[in-house]
Structure 1
Amino acid sequence: MRRSAAAALAAVLLLPLSACANDAAQSTHGAVAPAGRQVDGPKVKIMVGGLDKVIYLPAMLTQQLGFFAEAGVNVELMSEPAGVNATTALLAGDVQGAVGFYDHTIDLQAKGKNVQSVVQFSQAPGEVEIVSTKQADAVRSGADFKGRKLGVTSLGSSTDFLTKYLAVKNGTAVSEFSPIAVGAGQTFVAALQQGSIDAGMTTDPTVANVLDKGLGKILYDMRTPEGSRQALGGLYPSSSLYMNTDWVEKNKDTTQKLANAFVKTLKWMSTHSPEEIAAKMPADYAQGGAGQYAAAIKATLPMFTTDGVMPADGPKTVLAVLAAFHPDVKGKEGTIDLSRTYTTEFVGKAAG
């Protein structure tokens, strides 16, 4: 009984911590999204680096539209506050797929792990570097990152990667500023509000929330292909479904079903308004109100592909960004085989 009581107490104490991981109920640590209509087909677990983030919207939208069921696959969506945590779950074998940034596939290959993007959701990061309103006059570019506390979702995440690149590109060494893990949603907003960070990288709907409250101003906007080219020198394929290469080879039929479902969603998104898309999503994702949520989707929509295909020159841009600062990639660009970091086999068939 003492052990049971202790376990119960521990569970209660942990609840507030997990509840702060993200600002939507479905996005708390390890939370599972509704499985939708069950079908007679394979079961797949997919970990998403924040289910409520607009950059990963196709994951939940596919389930809400019933496209997984139509494709004949039972998908269980799970959520972690950062893409790097989704990668960890994938490598541990806890899930069969991860929805996160494509750049992790290059990072992992440099570390001897074979992971590939199977469906490429986007051609731009969808990320925004926001500077605190109080620091807006002092921080005007990556050159002003020196001595600053910069918020990222977590260390080793794609927001961490992009922040370091923007610093190095503008003459600031990665040792000259402090990356601070602040998560997303309300934890990011609180960090900015309390002065725990001077600036930080985040996505919608957090961006819309920060701007609405007057807490920050946009420094770098990478929600569009144009914004990606300006900040990073080219298209930067980001959010994607990536999976272990060995698993894909052994489960081609299941992988094809997943690709069919996601490509159908991407096409659906390209023919529907932000308001129509927002209406299909869980109600608690629109914490700033329906109007603000639809506006956040509208601002981010340009980043998405319509067919799930990797942009031709995108991988080279991502490799160049990582090679600028990443210790596992810098100086080893010649050893990275980009053709092994993604495949168009399944989206090609889905589009056909």
Structure 2
Amino acid sequence: MNRRDFLATSAAAAALTALAARLPAYAQEAGAAIEKPSLTLGVGGKPLLYYLPLTIAETKGFFEEEGLTVAINDFGGGAKSLQALVGGSIDVVTGAYEHTLRMQQKGQDIRAVCDLGRFPGITIAVKKDLAGEIKSIADLKGRAMGVTAPGSSTALMLQYAMVKAGLQPGDVSLVGIGGGTSAVAAVKRGEIAGLSHLDPVTSRLEQDGDIAVLLDTRTEEGTRALFGGTNPAATVYLRQDFIEANPVTTQRIVNAFLKSLTFLQTATPDEVADAVPADYHFGDREFYKTAFEKARPMYSPDGMITQDGFASMLSMLGTLEPAEFASADIAFDRTFDPRFVQAARI
């Protein structure tokens, strides 16, 4: 490249950088046209408390307040939502942050724009009648364990906990059991030895006396015990080409989710129970209120992912899949774009 070409390329790069920096501010201008007001959103297990900010945005009308019409496709697990986004059949996903790192490592530019959960909220547990035999993660070897879907965050965390306990990721058979009543039924029917799952499924089984908990990341204490730090969970993520082509739409999506997070910081359990479909209660409204209170600490207060959260996630992937991630060169700012959270006006 000669000097003239170098200078031209540098100038173009600087112009693009400046434009990118202005996108959120432009997106927040009063009356800015929404490029894509009708969207399709993917999620893997919508009734789960892991995805409660999405349900709140839907039922409280926060999407409509932002001028958006959002059709929600509920897939069997987060990995299937990711596949749909990559395939182009949906526009946006509420899914695990680790998917953005996986896609960046594969050369696919998918980025989170808002954090929903600062802790995974995943519990690893075994059937109560097996608690005498399975007293630790290491004792799971050779067992069949339920997850929302293979490749999902529930599967990933189970495998990570196994590796840290001296096992191999393949030492346990993963069985996809979905995210709602099907998961509860799988445990009660004895189809699996236990599960790596989320509330309200976990709390339902706990309250019914069906499981014994081995590891719990619904709290900061439990999360740090496993990961040594915070570990971002549910996020809102999109393809970078969508973000660039639709900055106003992206801003409005983030605005809606931040309204949900603000609501969840102060809402009473009754207000939350009122805001979700009755079938999310598993037939017991008081139970659902209790499950929400257990889960409340995991929701992000501000939508931001931190550098140490990214480092924790990358370390987890490096431990679990060293051939793929041990020396991975993934930049934090290619997995999370904070500009839309920073520019949001709630």
Structure 2 partner of 1:346? 340
Distance across 1 between alignment mates of 2:289 and 2:35: 35
Structure 2 partner of 1:305? 300
Structure 2 partner of 1:337? 331
Which residue, 106, 116, 119 being the options, matches 2:111? 116
Distance across 2 between alignment mates of 1:254 and 1:212: 42
1:172-211 equivalences under 5 Å are: 172-211=167-206
Cα pair distance change 1:328/1:288, threshold 3 Å: farther
* More relative contact order, 1 or 2 (CA 8 Å, 6+ apart): 2
Q: Aligned partner of 1:208: which letter?
A: S
1:159 to partner: Cα distance: 1.1
Q: Aligned partner of 1:169: which letter?
A: K
Which residue, 81, 95, 103 being the options, matches 1:100? 95
Q: Aligned partner of 2:163: which letter?
A: V
Distance across 2 between alignment mates of 1:256 and 1:189: 37
Asked if 1:51 is matched to 2:43, the reply is: no
Q: CA RMSD, aligned part only?
A: 1.8
Cα pair distance change 1:177/1:287, threshold 3 Å: closer
Structure number with larger C-alpha Rg: 2
1:351 to partner: Cα distance: 5.2
**Identity over aligned pairs, percent:** 34
Gaps of 5+ in 2: 1-33
Does structure 2 retain, via aligned residues, the 8 Å contact 1:123–1:311? Answer: no
Gaps of 5+ in 1: 1-38
| Aligned partner of residue 313 in structure 1, secondary structure | helix
How many correspondences in the alignment?
A: 313
Distance across 2 between alignment mates of 1:147 and 1:94: 37
1:1-352 equivalences under 5 Å are: 42-326=37-321, 329-333=324-328, 335-350=329-344
1:331 to partner: Cα distance: 2.5
Structure 2 partner of 1:5? none
1:46 to partner: Cα distance: 0.7
Instruction: Write the deviation string for residues 24-61 of structure 1: whole angstroms up to 9, x where unpaired.
Output: xxxxxxxxxxxxxxx99711111111111111011111
Cα pair distance change 1:253/1:316, threshold 3 Å: same
Distance across 2 between alignment mates of 1:161 and 1:222: 13
TM-score (norm: length of structure 1): 0.85
Instruction: Write the deviation string for residues 66-103 of structure 1: whole angstroms up to 9, x where unpaired.
Output: 11111122212221121111111111111110011101
1:328 to partner: Cα distance: 6.0
Distance across 2 between alignment mates of 1:279 and 1:40: 33
Q: Aligned partner of 1:338: which letter?
A: F
Q: Aligned partner of 1:59: which letter?
A: L
1:177 to partner: Cα distance: 2.2
Distance across 2 between alignment mates of 1:153 and 1:231: 20
Distance across 2 between alignment mates of 1:330 and 1:142: 23
TM-score (norm: length of structure 2): 0.86
Distance across 1 between alignment mates of 2:171 and 2:254: 42
Distance across 2 between alignment mates of 1:328 and 1:284: 43
Question: Structure 1 stretch 98-107 or stretch 206-215: which is displaced more?
Answer: 206-215
Question: Structure 1 stretch 181-190 or stretch 107-116: which is displaced more?
Answer: 181-190
1:317 to partner: Cα distance: 0.6
Does structure 1 retain, via aligned residues, the 8 Å contact 2:45–2:178? Answer: no
Instruction: Write the deviation string for residues 261-293 of structure 1: whole angstroms up to 9, x where unpaired.
Output: 111111111111122111111112112311011
